[in-house]
Amino acid sequence: MNASPIRCLVSAGPTREHFDPVRFLSNPSSGKMGYALASAASKRGWHVDLVSGPVSLPVPEGVELTRVVTGQEMYNAVSERFDACDILIMTAAIMDYRPKSIADHKIKKFELEMLIEMEPVIDVLATVARRKINQLIVGFAAETDHLEEYATKKLENKKADFVVANLIGGPAGAFEKDSNKVLVLRKNGQTIALGPLTKVALAGELLDLFEPELIRKVASKSADPGGTNAEAS
Protein backbone atom coordinates (compact mmCIF):
# COMPACT_ATOMS: atom_id res chain seq x y z
CA MET A 1 0.00 0.00 0.00
CA ASN A 2 1.47 3.35 -1.04
CA ALA A 3 2.02 5.78 1.82
CA SER A 4 2.24 8.89 -0.35
CA PRO A 5 -0.86 11.10 -0.57
CA ILE A 6 -0.13 11.73 -4.25
CA ARG A 7 -2.63 10.13 -6.63
CA CYS A 8 -1.39 9.90 -10.21
CA LEU A 9 -3.57 9.14 -13.24
CA VAL A 10 -1.75 8.16 -16.45
CA SER A 11 -3.18 7.37 -19.87
CA ALA A 12 -1.08 5.41 -22.35
CA GLY A 13 -1.04 3.66 -25.70
CA PRO A 14 -3.19 4.06 -28.80
CA THR A 15 -6.93 3.83 -29.24
CA ARG A 16 -8.76 1.91 -31.96
CA GLU A 17 -11.90 2.96 -33.79
CA HIS A 18 -13.52 0.06 -35.62
CA PHE A 19 -15.57 0.43 -38.76
CA ASP A 20 -16.31 -3.29 -38.96
CA PRO A 21 -15.43 -6.36 -36.86
CA VAL A 22 -11.97 -6.83 -38.40
CA ARG A 23 -10.73 -3.37 -39.41
CA PHE A 24 -10.08 -0.23 -37.46
CA LEU A 25 -8.32 3.13 -37.46
CA SER A 26 -5.39 3.45 -35.06
CA ASN A 27 -1.80 4.64 -34.74
CA PRO A 28 1.58 3.09 -33.85
CA SER A 29 1.84 4.31 -30.26
CA SER A 30 3.57 1.61 -28.20
CA GLY A 31 2.54 2.93 -24.77
CA LYS A 32 6.16 2.72 -23.57
CA MET A 33 6.37 6.33 -22.38
CA GLY A 34 3.14 6.13 -20.40
CA TYR A 35 4.06 2.79 -18.85
CA ALA A 36 7.51 4.13 -17.92
CA LEU A 37 5.92 7.14 -16.23
CA ALA A 38 3.42 4.95 -14.37
CA SER A 39 6.22 2.68 -13.18
CA ALA A 40 8.43 5.60 -12.09
CA ALA A 41 5.54 7.22 -10.21
CA SER A 42 4.73 3.98 -8.41
CA LYS A 43 8.38 3.59 -7.36
CA ARG A 44 8.14 7.04 -5.74
CA GLY A 45 5.32 5.74 -3.59
CA TRP A 46 2.52 7.44 -5.50
CA HIS A 47 -0.85 5.75 -5.96
CA VAL A 48 -1.01 5.18 -9.73
CA ASP A 49 -4.00 4.47 -11.96
CA LEU A 50 -2.99 3.57 -15.52
CA VAL A 51 -5.62 3.69 -18.27
CA SER A 52 -4.18 1.91 -21.29
CA GLY A 53 -5.16 1.36 -24.88
CA PRO A 54 -4.22 -1.91 -26.63
CA VAL A 55 -0.49 -2.57 -26.08
CA SER A 56 1.74 -5.57 -25.40
CA LEU A 57 3.57 -4.41 -22.29
CA PRO A 58 3.81 -5.91 -18.79
CA VAL A 59 1.79 -4.18 -16.09
CA PRO A 60 4.11 -2.02 -13.94
CA GLU A 61 4.42 -3.23 -10.35
CA GLY A 62 2.10 -1.50 -7.91
CA VAL A 63 -0.02 0.10 -10.63
CA GLU A 64 -3.79 -0.29 -11.01
CA LEU A 65 -4.44 -0.97 -14.70
CA THR A 66 -7.64 -0.35 -16.64
CA ARG A 67 -7.66 -1.54 -20.25
CA VAL A 68 -9.67 0.29 -22.91
CA VAL A 69 -9.92 0.21 -26.70
CA THR A 70 -11.79 3.24 -28.05
CA GLY A 71 -11.47 6.96 -27.43
CA GLN A 72 -14.86 7.01 -25.72
CA GLU A 73 -13.77 4.20 -23.38
CA MET A 74 -10.57 6.13 -22.67
CA TYR A 75 -12.61 9.21 -21.82
CA ASN A 76 -14.99 7.25 -19.58
CA ALA A 77 -12.13 5.67 -17.61
CA VAL A 78 -10.10 8.88 -17.26
CA SER A 79 -13.16 10.96 -16.38
CA GLU A 80 -14.24 8.48 -13.69
CA ARG A 81 -10.84 8.75 -11.98
CA PHE A 82 -9.99 12.40 -12.62
CA ASP A 83 -11.64 14.08 -9.64
CA ALA A 84 -9.68 11.93 -7.17
CA CYS A 85 -6.28 12.44 -8.80
CA ASP A 86 -3.60 15.02 -8.00
CA ILE A 87 -1.83 14.77 -11.35
CA LEU A 88 -3.11 13.69 -14.76
CA ILE A 89 -0.47 12.64 -17.31
CA MET A 90 -2.07 12.15 -20.74
CA THR A 91 0.42 10.26 -22.90
CA ALA A 92 -2.25 8.29 -24.80
CA ALA A 93 -2.38 8.78 -28.56
CA ILE A 94 -6.14 9.03 -28.99
CA MET A 95 -7.63 8.96 -32.47
CA ASP A 96 -9.22 12.27 -33.46
CA TYR A 97 -11.98 10.75 -35.62
CA ARG A 98 -14.03 7.57 -35.73
CA PRO A 99 -16.57 6.04 -38.11
CA LYS A 100 -20.11 7.22 -37.37
CA SER A 101 -21.33 3.64 -37.30
CA ILE A 102 -19.74 0.21 -36.95
CA ALA A 103 -20.88 -2.46 -39.39
CA ASP A 104 -21.72 -5.86 -37.91
CA HIS A 105 -20.07 -7.58 -40.90
CA LYS A 106 -16.88 -7.10 -42.86
CA ILE A 107 -17.45 -4.25 -45.29
CA LYS A 108 -16.53 -5.13 -48.87
CA LYS A 109 -13.75 -3.11 -50.44
CA PHE A 110 -16.00 -1.46 -53.02
CA GLU A 111 -18.37 -0.31 -50.25
CA LEU A 112 -15.78 1.44 -48.08
CA GLU A 113 -15.76 4.84 -49.73
CA MET A 114 -19.56 5.00 -49.91
CA LEU A 115 -20.35 3.76 -46.41
CA ILE A 116 -17.77 5.25 -44.07
CA GLU A 117 -18.65 8.64 -42.60
CA MET A 118 -16.47 10.09 -39.88
CA GLU A 119 -17.20 12.04 -36.71
CA PRO A 120 -14.89 13.57 -34.09
CA VAL A 121 -13.87 11.62 -31.00
CA ILE A 122 -14.33 13.43 -27.69
CA ASP A 123 -11.26 15.48 -26.71
CA VAL A 124 -10.38 13.67 -23.49
CA LEU A 125 -7.79 16.10 -22.13
CA ALA A 126 -9.71 19.30 -22.89
CA THR A 127 -12.98 17.88 -21.56
CA VAL A 128 -11.69 16.63 -18.21
CA ALA A 129 -9.45 19.70 -17.74
CA ARG A 130 -12.58 21.87 -17.61
CA ARG A 131 -13.31 20.18 -14.26
CA LYS A 132 -9.85 20.99 -12.93
CA ILE A 133 -9.84 22.11 -9.30
CA ASN A 134 -6.27 21.77 -8.05
CA GLN A 135 -4.89 18.99 -10.25
CA LEU A 136 -1.64 19.26 -12.18
CA ILE A 137 -2.39 18.63 -15.86
CA VAL A 138 0.28 17.24 -18.19
CA GLY A 139 -0.47 16.84 -21.88
CA PHE A 140 1.65 15.23 -24.59
CA ALA A 141 1.98 16.53 -28.15
CA ALA A 142 3.27 14.35 -30.99
CA GLU A 143 4.01 16.38 -34.13
CA THR A 144 5.78 15.96 -37.46
CA ASP A 145 6.85 19.62 -37.65
CA HIS A 146 6.48 23.06 -35.97
CA LEU A 147 6.90 21.26 -32.66
CA GLU A 148 7.16 24.19 -30.26
CA GLU A 149 4.47 26.23 -32.04
CA TYR A 150 1.87 23.47 -31.96
CA ALA A 151 2.78 22.43 -28.43
CA THR A 152 2.32 26.02 -27.24
CA LYS A 153 -1.17 26.07 -28.74
CA LYS A 154 -2.00 22.79 -27.01
CA LEU A 155 -0.74 24.15 -23.69
CA GLU A 156 -3.12 27.09 -24.00
CA ASN A 157 -6.12 25.30 -25.52
CA LYS A 158 -6.10 22.30 -23.17
CA LYS A 159 -5.65 24.28 -19.91
CA ALA A 160 -2.50 22.26 -19.18
CA ASP A 161 0.28 23.08 -16.72
CA PHE A 162 2.87 21.23 -18.82
CA VAL A 163 2.98 19.92 -22.38
CA VAL A 164 5.63 17.36 -23.31
CA ALA A 165 6.25 17.57 -27.05
CA ASN A 166 8.09 15.17 -29.32
CA LEU A 167 8.59 14.65 -33.02
CA ILE A 168 7.12 11.60 -34.73
CA GLY A 169 7.78 10.14 -38.15
CA GLY A 170 11.12 9.53 -39.81
CA PRO A 171 14.21 8.01 -38.19
CA ALA A 172 14.05 10.44 -35.25
CA GLY A 173 10.40 9.66 -34.48
CA ALA A 174 9.47 8.45 -31.01
CA PHE A 175 6.72 5.94 -31.86
CA GLU A 176 7.65 2.36 -30.91
CA LYS A 177 11.18 3.41 -29.87
CA ASP A 178 12.82 2.79 -26.48
CA SER A 179 14.31 6.29 -26.35
CA ASN A 180 13.03 9.80 -26.94
CA LYS A 181 13.91 13.47 -26.74
CA VAL A 182 11.30 16.06 -25.86
CA LEU A 183 10.55 19.71 -25.30
CA VAL A 184 8.72 20.43 -22.06
CA LEU A 185 6.61 23.59 -22.11
CA ARG A 186 5.38 25.07 -18.84
CA LYS A 187 2.42 27.34 -18.24
CA ASN A 188 4.85 29.98 -16.92
CA GLY A 189 6.51 30.22 -20.36
CA GLN A 190 9.58 28.13 -19.59
CA THR A 191 10.76 25.60 -22.20
CA ILE A 192 13.08 22.74 -21.25
CA ALA A 193 14.79 20.27 -23.62
CA LEU A 194 15.31 16.72 -22.35
CA GLY A 195 17.05 13.81 -24.06
CA PRO A 196 17.80 11.86 -26.01
CA LEU A 197 17.28 9.42 -23.17
CA THR A 198 15.73 6.03 -22.74
CA LYS A 199 12.04 6.36 -21.98
CA VAL A 200 12.67 4.87 -18.54
CA ALA A 201 15.29 7.54 -17.75
CA LEU A 202 13.16 10.25 -19.34
CA ALA A 203 10.22 9.29 -17.11
CA GLY A 204 12.32 10.03 -14.04
CA GLU A 205 13.48 13.37 -15.44
CA LEU A 206 9.90 14.37 -16.23
CA LEU A 207 8.62 13.46 -12.76
CA ASP A 208 11.48 15.50 -11.28
CA LEU A 209 10.14 18.49 -13.23
CA PHE A 210 6.52 17.93 -12.24
CA GLU A 211 7.06 17.02 -8.59
CA PRO A 212 7.80 20.44 -6.98
CA GLU A 213 4.63 21.99 -8.44
CA LEU A 214 2.67 18.85 -7.65
CA ILE A 215 3.77 18.83 -4.01
CA ARG A 216 2.78 22.48 -3.72
CA LYS A 217 -0.68 21.72 -5.07
CA VAL A 218 -1.13 18.69 -2.81
CA ALA A 219 -0.06 20.74 0.22
CA SER A 220 -2.46 23.51 -0.78
CA LYS A 221 -5.31 21.01 -1.10
CA SER A 222 -4.52 19.51 2.31
CA ALA A 223 -4.53 22.97 3.88
CA ASP A 224 -7.80 23.87 2.14
CA PRO A 225 -9.97 20.71 2.16
CA GLY A 226 -13.09 22.74 1.44
CA GLY A 227 -11.70 23.82 -1.91
CA THR A 228 -11.84 27.59 -1.40
CA ASN A 229 -8.56 27.87 -3.32
CA ALA A 230 -9.96 26.06 -6.35
CA GLU A 231 -8.43 27.13 -9.64
CA ALA A 232 -10.49 28.78 -12.31
CA SER A 233 -10.80 26.78 -15.48
Q: Which residues pair with 143 in a beta bridge?
A: 167
Inter-CA distances, 160 with 108, 224, 230, Å: 43, 22, 15
Q: Which of 27, 134, 157, 180 is catalytic?
A: 27
Distance between CA atoms of 222 and 233, rounded to whole angstroms? 20
Backbone φ, ψ for residue 148 (5° rounding): -70, -40
Determine which helix (DSSP H) or strand (DSSP E) holds 90, and give its type and residue range.
strand 87-90
Determine which helix (DSSP H) or strand (DSSP E) holds 167, and give its type and residue range.
strand 162-167
DSSP assignments along 171-204, one per residue: TT--TT-SEEEEEEEETTS-EEEEEEEEHHHHHH
Instruction: Determine whether 27 is an active site residue.
Output: yes
Give the active site residues.
Answer: 27
